[in-house]
Chains A and B, each alone.
Chain A
Amino acid sequence: MKYMLLIYSNPESWAGLSAEQREDLSRSHQELTRELTEQGLLVSAAGLADPITSRTIWVDADNTRSTTDGPYAEAKEHLAGFYLVECENIDQAIEYAARMPDAEYVAVEVRPVMDASGLEM
Chain B
Amino acid sequence: MLLREQAPQVLSALVRHYGHFDLAEEAVQEALLAASQQWPGEGVPDNPRGWLIRVGSRRLTDLLRSESARRKREENAATMASPEEFVAPSPEIDDLGGRDDTLTLLFLCCHPSLSPASQIALTLRAVGGLTTAQIAAAFLVPEATMAQRISRAKRSIKQAGSTFEMPPEAERDARMGAVLHVLYLIFNEGYTASSGDDLHSAELTTEAIRLARGVRRLLPDDGEVAGLLALMLLTDARRPARTAPDGSLIPLAEQDRSKWNEAAIAEGEQLVSDALARTQLGPYQVQAAIAAVHGTAKRAEDTDWRQIVALYQVLEQISDNPMVRLNHAVAVGMAVGPKEGLALLEPLDTDGRMKDHHRLEAVRAHLLEMSGDLDGARASYLLAARRTTSMPERDYLQKRADQISS
Contact = CB atoms under 8 A, between A and B. Distances in A.
Interface in A79-121: 86, 88, 112-121
Nearest to A41: B145
B193 A117 contact: yes
Contacts of A41: 145, 148
Interface residues of A, number: 21
B320 to A, nearest CB: 21
Contacts of A37: 144, 148
Interface string A31-55: 0000001111111000000000000
Contacts of A112: 389
B366 to A, nearest CB: 7
Interface stretch (B58-66, B72-80, B194-202): B194-202
A68 B283 CA distance: 60
A88 B250 CA distance: 28
B141 A86 contact: yes
Interface in B52-71: none
A113 B140 CA distance: 12
Contacts of B189: 117
Contact of A116 (B191, B194, B251, B396): B194
Contacts of A38: 148
Q: How large is the interface on B (under 10, 10 to 19, 20 to 34, 35 or more residues)?
A: 35 or more
Contacts of A120: 238, 242-243, 249-252, 255, 396
A113 B366 CA distance: 26
A117 B189 CA distance: 8
A114 B201 contact: no
B394 interface: yes
A93 to B, nearest CB: 12
Contacts of B194: 116-118
Contact of A118 (B140, B146, B192): B192
A45 B189 CA distance: 26
B396 A118 contact: yes
A40 B148 contact: yes
B389 A113 contact: yes
A114 B391 CA distance: 6
A39 B141 CA distance: 13
A116 B249 contact: no
A115 B149 contact: no
Given A86-B141, A121-B366, A116 B193 contact: yes
Contacts of A115: 140, 389-391
Interface string B136-166: 0000111011111100100000000000000
Contacts of B149: 40
A37 B252 CA distance: 41
Nearest to B140: A115
B356 to A, nearest CB: 11
A117 B198 CA distance: 9
A116 B252 contact: no
**Which of A2, A37, A116 has most chain B Cβ within 10 Å?**
A116
B25 interface: no
B38 interface: no
Given A117-B192, A121-B252, A40 B389 contact: no
Contacts of A43: 141-142, 145
B249 A118 contact: yes
A62 B193 CA distance: 36
Nearest to B193: A117
Nearest to A117: B192
Nearest to B192: A117
Contacts of A39: 148, 152
A6 B256 CA distance: 43
A86 B396 CA distance: 26
B236 interface: no
Contact of B152 (A40, A118, A121): A40
Interface string A63-91: 00000000000000000000000101000
A117 B142 contact: no
Given A86-B141, A88-B117, A114 B251 contact: no
5 contacts: A41-B148, A88-B115, A115-B140, A120-B255, A121-B251
Interface of A: 1-2, 37-43, 86, 88, 112-121
Given A2-B141, A118-B249, A120-B238, 15 more contacts: A37-B148, A38-B148, A39-B148, A40-B144, A40-B145, A86-B141, A88-B115, A116-B193, A117-B192, A117-B201, A119-B390, A119-B393, A120-B396, A121-B252, A121-B359
